[in-house]
Chain A
Amino acid sequence: MSAERNNEEHPPLERLIAYHEGKLDAAAAEELRDHLALCPRCADQQLDLADFNAPPAPVVDLAARREASLLARAVVSEERARRFKAVAAIAAGLVLTTLGVLALRELGPRSGRGTQLALDGPGAANLPLASLWPASEVRSRGSATAVTVPAEAPVLGLILNLPDLSRCATYRAVLRSAEGRTLAEVSGLRRTEDGRFQFWVGAAGLSPGHLEVELYGEGEGCGAKLETFPLTLLRPAADGR
Protein backbone atom coordinates (compact mmCIF):
# COMPACT_ATOMS: atom_id res chain seq x y z
CA MET A 1 0.00 0.00 0.00
CA SER A 2 2.99 2.25 0.14
CA ALA A 3 5.13 3.28 -2.78
CA GLU A 4 7.74 0.87 -1.53
CA ARG A 5 5.35 -2.02 -1.82
CA ASN A 6 4.27 -0.91 -5.20
CA ASN A 7 6.90 -1.94 -7.70
CA GLU A 8 5.33 0.04 -10.52
CA GLU A 9 7.18 3.02 -11.85
CA HIS A 10 5.67 6.34 -10.95
CA PRO A 11 3.82 7.91 -13.85
CA PRO A 12 5.48 11.01 -15.32
CA LEU A 13 4.52 14.26 -13.68
CA GLU A 14 2.92 15.41 -16.91
CA ARG A 15 0.55 12.45 -16.75
CA LEU A 16 -0.35 13.15 -13.15
CA ILE A 17 -1.03 16.75 -14.10
CA ALA A 18 -3.16 15.68 -17.05
CA TYR A 19 -5.19 13.44 -14.72
CA HIS A 20 -5.53 16.26 -12.22
CA GLU A 21 -6.81 18.53 -14.96
CA GLY A 22 -9.23 15.88 -16.21
CA LYS A 23 -7.47 15.59 -19.54
CA LEU A 24 -6.95 11.82 -19.58
CA ASP A 25 -9.46 9.64 -21.37
CA ALA A 26 -11.65 7.38 -19.26
CA ALA A 27 -9.54 4.25 -19.66
CA ALA A 28 -6.28 6.05 -18.89
CA ALA A 29 -7.86 7.74 -15.88
CA GLU A 30 -9.08 4.39 -14.53
CA GLU A 31 -5.62 2.94 -14.92
CA LEU A 32 -4.10 5.86 -13.11
CA ARG A 33 -6.65 5.58 -10.28
CA ASP A 34 -5.49 2.01 -9.72
CA HIS A 35 -1.96 3.31 -9.34
CA LEU A 36 -2.96 6.17 -7.05
CA ALA A 37 -4.78 3.81 -4.70
CA LEU A 38 -1.56 1.89 -4.27
CA CYS A 39 0.94 4.73 -4.36
CA PRO A 40 0.84 7.34 -1.61
CA ARG A 41 3.54 9.38 -3.28
CA CYS A 42 1.44 9.92 -6.40
CA ALA A 43 -1.72 10.31 -4.35
CA ASP A 44 0.09 13.00 -2.38
CA GLN A 45 0.98 14.71 -5.62
CA GLN A 46 -2.68 14.87 -6.58
CA LEU A 47 -3.42 16.58 -3.29
CA ASP A 48 -0.43 18.88 -3.74
CA LEU A 49 -1.71 19.89 -7.17
CA ALA A 50 -5.11 20.61 -5.66
CA ASP A 51 -3.45 22.72 -2.96
CA PHE A 52 -1.38 24.69 -5.42
CA ASN A 53 -4.45 25.45 -7.48
CA ALA A 54 -6.71 26.31 -4.57
CA PRO A 55 -7.65 29.98 -4.18
CA PRO A 56 -4.94 31.72 -2.19
CA ALA A 57 -5.61 31.75 1.48
CA PRO A 58 -4.76 35.06 3.13
CA VAL A 59 -1.37 34.74 4.77
CA VAL A 60 -2.23 35.55 8.34
CA ASP A 61 1.12 34.40 9.60
CA LEU A 62 3.02 37.67 9.71
CA ALA A 63 6.34 35.92 10.04
CA ALA A 64 5.63 33.90 6.91
CA ARG A 65 4.56 37.04 5.09
CA ARG A 66 7.77 38.75 6.06
CA GLU A 67 9.83 35.69 5.10
CA ALA A 68 8.16 35.61 1.69
CA SER A 69 8.85 39.29 1.15
CA LEU A 70 12.50 38.95 2.16
CA LEU A 71 12.90 35.88 0.03
CA ALA A 72 11.47 37.57 -3.05
CA ARG A 73 13.78 40.51 -2.56
CA ALA A 74 16.79 38.25 -2.05
CA VAL A 75 16.00 36.20 -5.15
CA VAL A 76 15.56 39.28 -7.33
CA SER A 77 18.80 40.84 -6.04
CA GLU A 78 20.72 37.62 -6.43
CA GLU A 79 19.52 37.07 -9.95
CA ARG A 80 20.20 40.69 -10.92
CA ALA A 81 23.74 40.38 -9.56
CA ARG A 82 24.22 37.11 -11.39
CA ARG A 83 22.90 38.61 -14.60
CA PHE A 84 25.18 41.60 -14.24
CA LYS A 85 28.15 39.32 -13.71
CA ALA A 86 27.15 37.24 -16.71
CA VAL A 87 26.85 40.32 -18.92
CA ALA A 88 30.16 41.65 -17.61
CA ALA A 89 31.80 38.29 -18.25
CA ILE A 90 30.42 38.19 -21.80
CA ALA A 91 31.60 41.73 -22.44
CA ALA A 92 35.03 40.92 -21.03
CA GLY A 93 35.09 37.74 -23.10
CA LEU A 94 34.26 39.66 -26.26
CA VAL A 95 36.99 42.19 -25.57
CA LEU A 96 39.52 39.46 -24.84
CA THR A 97 38.44 37.48 -27.87
CA THR A 98 38.80 40.53 -30.08
CA LEU A 99 42.19 41.32 -28.64
CA GLY A 100 43.16 37.68 -28.96
CA VAL A 101 42.16 37.55 -32.61
CA LEU A 102 44.06 40.75 -33.28
CA ALA A 103 47.08 39.43 -31.44
CA LEU A 104 46.94 36.15 -33.35
CA ARG A 105 46.68 38.02 -36.58
CA GLU A 106 49.73 39.96 -35.61
CA LEU A 107 51.78 37.61 -33.56
CA GLY A 108 51.27 33.99 -34.37
CA PRO A 109 51.97 31.12 -31.99
CA ARG A 110 54.18 31.61 -28.99
CA SER A 111 56.23 28.50 -29.49
CA GLY A 112 57.43 29.58 -32.88
CA ARG A 113 57.64 25.91 -33.82
CA GLY A 114 56.49 26.37 -37.35
CA THR A 115 52.77 26.62 -36.67
CA GLN A 116 51.11 28.28 -39.64
CA LEU A 117 49.80 31.79 -39.37
CA ALA A 118 46.77 32.62 -41.38
CA LEU A 119 47.37 36.28 -41.88
CA ASP A 120 50.03 38.32 -43.51
CA GLY A 121 51.86 41.14 -41.86
CA PRO A 122 52.11 44.49 -43.58
CA GLY A 123 54.72 44.42 -46.25
CA ALA A 124 55.28 40.74 -45.64
CA ALA A 125 54.82 39.88 -49.28
CA ASN A 126 57.50 42.27 -50.41
CA LEU A 127 60.16 42.01 -47.77
CA PRO A 128 62.48 39.11 -47.11
CA LEU A 129 62.02 39.99 -43.44
CA ALA A 130 58.91 41.62 -42.12
CA SER A 131 57.42 42.13 -38.74
CA LEU A 132 54.02 40.75 -37.94
CA TRP A 133 53.78 42.81 -34.82
CA PRO A 134 54.45 45.56 -34.28
CA ALA A 135 54.03 46.43 -37.93
CA SER A 136 57.14 46.87 -40.01
CA GLU A 137 58.00 50.08 -41.64
CA VAL A 138 57.93 48.82 -45.21
CA ARG A 139 61.15 49.39 -47.03
CA SER A 140 62.37 48.37 -50.39
CA ARG A 141 63.88 44.98 -50.90
CA GLY A 142 67.50 44.89 -49.84
CA SER A 143 67.14 47.47 -47.10
CA ALA A 144 67.01 46.59 -43.43
CA THR A 145 63.53 46.11 -42.12
CA ALA A 146 62.79 48.70 -39.48
CA VAL A 147 60.40 47.88 -36.68
CA THR A 148 59.21 50.34 -34.11
CA VAL A 149 58.78 48.45 -30.87
CA PRO A 150 57.42 50.15 -27.74
CA ALA A 151 59.51 49.45 -24.67
CA GLU A 152 56.61 47.66 -23.00
CA ALA A 153 55.86 45.39 -25.99
CA PRO A 154 56.15 41.81 -24.79
CA VAL A 155 56.79 40.17 -28.12
CA LEU A 156 58.09 40.73 -31.60
CA GLY A 157 56.53 38.72 -34.42
CA LEU A 158 58.57 38.14 -37.57
CA ILE A 159 58.06 36.72 -41.04
CA LEU A 160 60.84 35.48 -43.28
CA ASN A 161 59.97 35.28 -46.96
CA LEU A 162 62.06 32.58 -48.58
CA PRO A 163 60.13 30.97 -51.43
CA ASP A 164 63.24 29.56 -53.06
CA LEU A 165 64.78 27.98 -50.01
CA SER A 166 65.82 24.33 -50.26
CA ARG A 167 63.75 22.20 -48.01
CA CYS A 168 64.94 21.01 -44.62
CA ALA A 169 62.82 19.21 -42.08
CA THR A 170 62.76 22.19 -39.72
CA TYR A 171 64.57 25.46 -39.30
CA ARG A 172 66.02 27.60 -36.55
CA ALA A 173 65.93 31.38 -36.36
CA VAL A 174 68.41 33.32 -34.24
CA LEU A 175 68.17 37.00 -33.38
CA ARG A 176 71.57 38.52 -32.77
CA SER A 177 72.81 41.92 -31.72
CA ALA A 178 75.20 43.86 -33.96
CA GLU A 179 77.96 42.50 -31.75
CA GLY A 180 76.92 38.93 -32.49
CA ARG A 181 75.30 38.24 -29.11
CA THR A 182 72.37 35.84 -29.29
CA LEU A 183 69.24 37.68 -28.10
CA ALA A 184 66.60 35.09 -28.96
CA GLU A 185 66.37 31.75 -30.67
CA VAL A 186 63.44 29.78 -32.04
CA SER A 187 63.89 26.25 -33.31
CA GLY A 188 61.57 23.71 -34.91
CA LEU A 189 60.28 26.19 -37.48
CA ARG A 190 58.50 24.84 -40.54
CA ARG A 191 57.98 26.55 -43.87
CA THR A 192 54.52 27.45 -44.89
CA GLU A 193 53.24 26.29 -48.26
CA ASP A 194 54.26 29.57 -49.84
CA GLY A 195 57.74 29.44 -48.38
CA ARG A 196 57.47 31.62 -45.29
CA PHE A 197 58.60 31.30 -41.74
CA GLN A 198 56.46 32.99 -39.15
CA PHE A 199 57.48 33.14 -35.53
CA TRP A 200 57.77 35.43 -32.61
CA VAL A 201 60.30 36.12 -29.91
CA GLY A 202 60.17 37.84 -26.56
CA ALA A 203 60.79 41.56 -26.96
CA ALA A 204 61.78 42.22 -23.37
CA GLY A 205 65.45 43.07 -23.22
CA LEU A 206 65.73 44.02 -26.87
CA SER A 207 67.49 47.34 -27.24
CA PRO A 208 67.03 49.74 -30.14
CA GLY A 209 69.65 49.40 -32.80
CA HIS A 210 70.76 47.20 -35.64
CA LEU A 211 70.14 43.49 -35.27
CA GLU A 212 70.38 40.46 -37.48
CA VAL A 213 68.05 37.54 -37.98
CA GLU A 214 69.83 34.38 -39.02
CA LEU A 215 68.12 31.32 -40.39
CA TYR A 216 69.61 27.84 -40.04
CA GLY A 217 68.43 24.48 -41.33
CA GLU A 218 67.79 21.67 -38.89
CA GLY A 219 68.10 17.96 -39.41
CA GLU A 220 70.56 15.78 -41.19
CA GLY A 221 72.70 17.75 -43.64
CA CYS A 222 70.78 20.94 -42.93
CA GLY A 223 72.66 22.54 -40.06
CA ALA A 224 74.27 25.39 -41.97
CA LYS A 225 73.28 29.03 -41.85
CA LEU A 226 71.03 29.70 -44.81
CA GLU A 227 70.28 33.42 -44.72
CA THR A 228 70.97 36.57 -42.73
CA PHE A 229 68.47 39.44 -42.59
CA PRO A 230 69.24 42.92 -41.22
CA LEU A 231 66.67 44.31 -38.79
CA THR A 232 66.54 47.76 -37.26
CA LEU A 233 64.80 48.09 -33.97
CA LEU A 234 63.35 51.53 -33.19
CA ARG A 235 61.53 53.04 -30.25
CA PRO A 236 58.47 55.25 -30.68
CA ALA A 237 59.23 58.94 -30.53
CA ALA A 238 57.47 59.43 -27.19
CA ASP A 239 58.99 56.33 -25.66
CA GLY A 240 61.86 58.21 -24.16
CA ARG A 241 64.46 55.64 -25.01
Chain B
Amino acid sequence: MPQGGENGGPDERFTRLTAEFYPRVRRLVSRFARNEEDLDDLTHETFLRIYKKLDTFRGEAALGTWIYKVTFNTCLAWAKERGVEVQRRVQPGASEVDRGAARLEESLGAVEAKQHEAADEKERARAVRQAVAQLPREQGRAMLLYLEDYKRREIARVLRVSDETVKTHLNEARKRLREILGERFDPREPRFEEDDGER
Protein backbone atom coordinates (compact mmCIF):
# COMPACT_ATOMS: atom_id res chain seq x y z
CA MET B 1 0.00 0.00 0.00
CA PRO B 2 1.48 3.33 -0.91
CA GLN B 3 2.69 5.47 1.93
CA GLY B 4 2.71 9.24 2.24
CA GLY B 5 5.17 11.14 0.17
CA GLU B 6 4.27 14.37 -1.47
CA ASN B 7 7.39 14.79 -3.57
CA GLY B 8 8.03 11.87 -5.83
CA GLY B 9 6.67 9.37 -3.29
CA PRO B 10 4.11 6.68 -3.97
CA ASP B 11 1.19 9.09 -3.67
CA GLU B 12 2.80 11.39 -6.18
CA ARG B 13 3.45 8.43 -8.43
CA PHE B 14 -0.19 7.44 -8.14
CA THR B 15 -1.31 10.95 -9.01
CA ARG B 16 0.83 10.95 -12.14
CA LEU B 17 -0.37 7.49 -13.06
CA THR B 18 -3.98 8.56 -12.64
CA ALA B 19 -3.47 11.54 -14.90
CA GLU B 20 -1.87 9.31 -17.53
CA PHE B 21 -4.31 6.43 -17.46
CA TYR B 22 -7.55 8.12 -16.48
CA PRO B 23 -8.93 8.43 -20.03
CA ARG B 24 -8.03 4.84 -20.91
CA VAL B 25 -9.40 3.39 -17.71
CA ARG B 26 -12.58 5.39 -18.08
CA ARG B 27 -13.01 4.20 -21.67
CA LEU B 28 -12.69 0.59 -20.60
CA VAL B 29 -14.94 1.08 -17.58
CA SER B 30 -17.58 2.67 -19.80
CA ARG B 31 -18.07 -0.68 -21.53
CA PHE B 32 -19.22 -2.18 -18.24
CA ALA B 33 -21.14 0.78 -16.84
CA ARG B 34 -24.88 1.00 -17.32
CA ASN B 35 -25.06 4.72 -16.70
CA GLU B 36 -23.03 7.75 -15.64
CA GLU B 37 -23.30 6.87 -11.98
CA ASP B 38 -21.89 3.40 -12.62
CA LEU B 39 -19.14 4.96 -14.69
CA ASP B 40 -18.07 7.30 -11.89
CA ASP B 41 -18.36 4.68 -9.17
CA LEU B 42 -16.51 2.00 -11.08
CA THR B 43 -13.78 4.39 -12.17
CA HIS B 44 -13.31 5.41 -8.56
CA GLU B 45 -13.29 1.82 -7.38
CA THR B 46 -10.78 0.86 -10.04
CA PHE B 47 -8.33 3.60 -9.12
CA LEU B 48 -8.78 2.82 -5.45
CA ARG B 49 -7.78 -0.76 -6.17
CA ILE B 50 -4.86 0.39 -8.29
CA TYR B 51 -3.73 2.58 -5.39
CA LYS B 52 -4.01 -0.24 -2.90
CA LYS B 53 -2.13 -2.66 -5.12
CA LEU B 54 0.44 -0.26 -6.45
CA ASP B 55 3.21 -1.45 -4.18
CA THR B 56 2.71 -5.00 -5.48
CA PHE B 57 3.67 -3.89 -8.98
CA ARG B 58 7.18 -5.20 -9.42
CA GLY B 59 7.69 -4.32 -13.03
CA GLU B 60 7.52 -7.88 -14.36
CA ALA B 61 4.89 -6.70 -16.83
CA ALA B 62 4.52 -3.33 -18.47
CA LEU B 63 2.74 -0.80 -16.25
CA GLY B 64 0.00 -0.46 -18.85
CA THR B 65 -0.60 -4.20 -18.84
CA TRP B 66 -0.70 -4.24 -15.06
CA ILE B 67 -3.19 -1.39 -14.90
CA TYR B 68 -5.29 -3.00 -17.59
CA LYS B 69 -5.37 -6.21 -15.63
CA VAL B 70 -6.46 -4.52 -12.41
CA THR B 71 -9.05 -2.51 -14.29
CA PHE B 72 -10.47 -5.42 -16.24
CA ASN B 73 -10.65 -7.70 -13.21
CA THR B 74 -12.29 -4.99 -11.12
CA CYS B 75 -14.84 -4.35 -13.84
CA LEU B 76 -15.47 -8.02 -14.47
CA ALA B 77 -16.14 -8.72 -10.79
CA TRP B 78 -18.39 -5.70 -10.61
CA ALA B 79 -20.29 -6.77 -13.74
CA LYS B 80 -20.70 -10.35 -12.55
CA GLU B 81 -22.24 -9.18 -9.31
CA ARG B 82 -24.80 -7.21 -11.26
CA GLY B 83 -25.31 -9.52 -14.20
CA VAL B 84 -23.97 -6.92 -16.62
CA GLU B 85 -22.43 -7.92 -19.96
CA VAL B 86 -19.31 -6.20 -21.20
CA GLN B 87 -20.01 -4.09 -24.27
CA ARG B 88 -18.04 -4.15 -27.49
CA ARG B 89 -15.50 -1.44 -28.23
CA VAL B 90 -17.43 -0.73 -31.37
CA GLN B 91 -21.15 -1.11 -31.12
CA PRO B 92 -22.65 -2.46 -34.34
CA GLY B 93 -26.01 -0.92 -35.08
CA ALA B 94 -27.72 -4.19 -35.86
CA SER B 95 -27.00 -7.62 -34.47
CA GLU B 96 -23.52 -8.68 -35.39
CA VAL B 97 -24.60 -11.56 -37.58
CA ASP B 98 -27.04 -9.52 -39.57
CA ARG B 99 -24.81 -6.51 -39.71
CA GLY B 100 -21.86 -8.61 -40.71
CA ALA B 101 -23.82 -10.22 -43.47
CA ALA B 102 -25.20 -6.90 -44.56
CA ARG B 103 -21.77 -5.35 -44.59
CA LEU B 104 -20.40 -8.15 -46.65
CA GLU B 105 -23.24 -7.89 -49.07
CA GLU B 106 -22.86 -4.17 -49.21
CA SER B 107 -19.15 -4.41 -49.77
CA LEU B 108 -19.53 -7.14 -52.28
CA GLY B 109 -22.34 -5.28 -54.00
CA ALA B 110 -24.05 -8.61 -54.18
CA VAL B 111 -27.41 -7.82 -55.71
CA GLU B 112 -29.78 -5.00 -56.23
CA ALA B 113 -31.38 -3.46 -53.15
CA LYS B 114 -34.82 -4.68 -54.11
CA GLN B 115 -33.62 -8.22 -54.34
CA HIS B 116 -32.08 -7.94 -50.87
CA GLU B 117 -35.31 -6.76 -49.39
CA ALA B 118 -36.89 -10.04 -50.24
CA ALA B 119 -34.03 -12.19 -49.03
CA ASP B 120 -34.13 -14.13 -45.83
CA GLU B 121 -31.76 -12.41 -43.43
CA LYS B 122 -30.82 -15.54 -41.59
CA GLU B 123 -30.26 -17.42 -44.78
CA ARG B 124 -27.98 -14.69 -46.01
CA ALA B 125 -26.02 -14.68 -42.78
CA ARG B 126 -25.58 -18.41 -43.02
CA ALA B 127 -24.43 -18.13 -46.62
CA VAL B 128 -21.84 -15.57 -45.61
CA ARG B 129 -20.54 -17.69 -42.77
CA GLN B 130 -20.35 -20.72 -44.99
CA ALA B 131 -18.46 -18.76 -47.61
CA VAL B 132 -16.03 -17.34 -45.05
CA ALA B 133 -15.53 -20.80 -43.61
CA GLN B 134 -14.17 -21.92 -46.97
CA LEU B 135 -11.45 -19.30 -46.93
CA PRO B 136 -7.88 -20.18 -45.99
CA ARG B 137 -7.25 -19.85 -42.25
CA GLU B 138 -5.52 -16.44 -42.25
CA GLN B 139 -7.95 -14.92 -44.72
CA GLY B 140 -10.90 -16.30 -42.79
CA ARG B 141 -9.69 -14.78 -39.52
CA ALA B 142 -9.12 -11.39 -41.09
CA MET B 143 -12.50 -11.47 -42.79
CA LEU B 144 -14.34 -12.54 -39.64
CA LEU B 145 -12.86 -9.62 -37.74
CA TYR B 146 -13.60 -7.31 -40.65
CA LEU B 147 -17.21 -8.37 -40.54
CA GLU B 148 -17.26 -7.52 -36.84
CA ASP B 149 -16.48 -3.91 -37.77
CA TYR B 150 -12.81 -3.91 -36.88
CA LYS B 151 -10.60 -1.59 -38.88
CA ARG B 152 -7.75 -3.04 -40.87
CA ARG B 153 -5.26 -1.61 -38.40
CA GLU B 154 -7.15 -3.13 -35.49
CA ILE B 155 -7.27 -6.51 -37.20
CA ALA B 156 -3.52 -6.31 -37.57
CA ARG B 157 -3.13 -5.65 -33.86
CA VAL B 158 -5.45 -8.46 -32.86
CA LEU B 159 -3.75 -10.98 -35.11
CA ARG B 160 -0.28 -9.58 -34.42
CA VAL B 161 0.54 -9.17 -38.10
CA SER B 162 1.30 -6.13 -40.20
CA ASP B 163 -1.29 -3.85 -41.77
CA GLU B 164 -0.04 -4.93 -45.17
CA THR B 165 -0.57 -8.58 -44.33
CA VAL B 166 -4.14 -7.87 -43.30
CA LYS B 167 -4.70 -5.91 -46.49
CA THR B 168 -3.39 -8.81 -48.54
CA HIS B 169 -5.52 -11.31 -46.66
CA LEU B 170 -8.63 -9.22 -47.10
CA ASN B 171 -8.00 -8.75 -50.81
CA GLU B 172 -7.36 -12.44 -51.28
CA ALA B 173 -10.47 -13.19 -49.26
CA ARG B 174 -12.47 -10.87 -51.45
CA LYS B 175 -11.33 -12.66 -54.58
CA ARG B 176 -12.12 -16.01 -53.08
CA LEU B 177 -15.55 -14.90 -51.90
CA ARG B 178 -16.23 -13.62 -55.39
CA GLU B 179 -15.62 -17.10 -56.64
CA ILE B 180 -17.72 -18.71 -53.94
CA LEU B 181 -20.64 -16.31 -54.04
CA GLY B 182 -20.60 -15.94 -57.79
CA GLU B 183 -23.08 -13.44 -59.08
CA ARG B 184 -23.89 -12.25 -55.58
CA PHE B 185 -20.52 -10.54 -55.56
CA ASP B 186 -20.31 -7.13 -57.20
CA PRO B 187 -16.75 -6.34 -58.28
CA ARG B 188 -17.63 -2.65 -58.64
CA GLU B 189 -17.88 -2.39 -54.87
CA PRO B 190 -14.56 -0.76 -53.94
CA ARG B 191 -14.77 -0.93 -50.22
CA PHE B 192 -12.45 -3.82 -49.55
CA GLU B 193 -9.76 -2.94 -52.01
CA GLU B 194 -9.61 0.69 -51.06
CA ASP B 195 -9.75 0.07 -47.35
CA ASP B 196 -7.22 2.49 -45.88
CA GLY B 197 -7.28 1.04 -42.42
CA GLU B 198 -9.27 3.91 -40.98
CA ARG B 199 -12.63 2.39 -41.57
Interface residues of A (CB under 8 A from B): 1-2, 5, 13, 17, 19-22, 29, 33-34, 36-38, 40-41, 43-54, 56-57, 59, 61, 64-65, 67-69, 71-76, 78-79, 83
Contact = CB atoms under 8 A, between A and B. Distances in A.
A19 B160 CA distance: 9
A1 B19 contact: no
A22 B61 CA distance: 12
B14 A76 contact: yes
B73 A43 contact: no
B64 interface: yes
Contacts of A13: 69, 72-73
Contacts of B191: none
A47 B141 contact: no
A17 B96 contact: no
A71 B44 contact: yes
A75 B14 contact: yes
Given A43-B158, A46-B157, A47-B154, A78 B48 contact: yes
B89 interface: yes
Dominant SS among interface residues on chain A: helix
A59 B72 contact: no
Given A19-B160, A75-B14, A51 B24 contact: yes
Contacts of A36: 141, 145, 158-159
B97 interface: yes
B20 interface: yes
Given A17-B69, A36-B158, A76-B11, A71 B141 contact: no
A76 B15 contact: yes
6 contacts: A20-B65, A33-B141, A36-B159, A53-B65, A53-B68, A59-B19
Q: Identify the interface centre among A34, A43, A48, A83: most chain B CB within 10 Å of its CB.
A: A43
A44 to B, nearest CB: 5
B65 A56 contact: no
A49 B28 CA distance: 10
Given A21-B65, A37-B141, A43-B148, A71 B47 contact: yes
Contact of A52 (B67, B96, B159): B67
A33 to B, nearest CB: 6
B129 interface: yes
Contacts of B100: 1
Contacts of B18: 68-69, 71-72, 75
B144 A37 contact: yes
7 A-B pairs with least C-beta separation = A68-B22, A37-B141, A53-B64, A52-B64, A72-B18, A52-B68, A72-B15
Interface string B124-165: 000001000000010011101101101000100111100000
Interface string B67-88: 1110011000000000000101
Given A48-B72, A53-B64, A83 B1 contact: yes
Nearest to A44: B89
A2 B43 CA distance: 27
B93 interface: no
B97 A5 contact: yes
A75 B11 CA distance: 10
Nearest to B151: A47
Contact of A46 (B2, B52, B158): B158
B148 A2 contact: yes
B100 to A, nearest CB: 6
Nearest to B48: A75
Contacts of A46: 157-158
